[in-house]
Amino acid sequence: MNLARTLREGGCAVGTMVRLTRSPAIVPLAGAAGFDFIMLDFEHGDHGLQTLADVAVAGQAAGLAVLVRVPELSRGWVSRCLDAGAAGVMVPMIESAEQARRIVDWSKYPPLGGRGLSSFGPNTGYRATNDVAELMAQANRDVLAIAQIETVPGVEACEQIAAVEGSSPIAVSECTPLGMKCSVSSGVPTTTSSSRDPAVSSVDRPT
């Protein structure tokens, strides 16, 4: 599956966060379970770039997208994870359009951004190319730059964040981690998934 194209066309994709395992075997296991993508958790997990490179290349061969949640808003983390083969990055704790623009700038090649060129490595499946312009254009189409909204200021700025050119679609869901983090940010922690968090409810409306 081309995850970015599926989302652009309004399709649905199902994935899961991976925090513990370091084995590329997670790719066929996730595929057999029916997932379209996995996301390695570099924020709370103990993965390294070598693990990412091995898992990403396995994902490319299997047609399963491998995303990464990086630990922080950092050019180094974003660019190195993409060069190591990630199909996209999610950056936590984004609270403004300016922060979202940085993700795009570090994730996309010119003219959309300022990502440094990596023309051979895990990101290309170790395949060389003489058509650098097409490599850059394809990466700009297919690499996901995701802003993760986890705080009340992020929820309040979500429309401006979503409007940043080149950013990936933003969906605020009612999953426990998001609801809990928004409620923690508001000073009233949610302890169960049965209660609807007001911060989530404020942006969960028809558009």
Q: Is 44 a catalytic residue?
A: yes
Residue 70 and residue 42 in contact, taking contact as beta carbons nearer than 8 Å:
yes
CA distance 66 to 74: 19
Q: Which are the contacts of 51, defined by CB distance < 8 A and separation ≥ 6? A: 22, 40
CA distance 120 to 132: 10
CA distance 25 to 190: 35
Single out the residue of 49, 48, 59 nearest to residue 24, CA to CA.
Answer: 59
Query: Strand, coil or helix: what is 88?
Result: strand
Question: Considering 8, 23, 33, 44, which one is annotated as catalytic?
Answer: 44
2: which 2 tokens? 């081309």
Quick check: bond before 111 cis, omega within 30?
Answer: yes
The residue count for the chain:
207
Could you tell me whether strands 144-147 and 65-69 are parallel, antiparallel, or unpaired per DSSP bridges?
Answer: unpaired
Catalytic site positions:
44
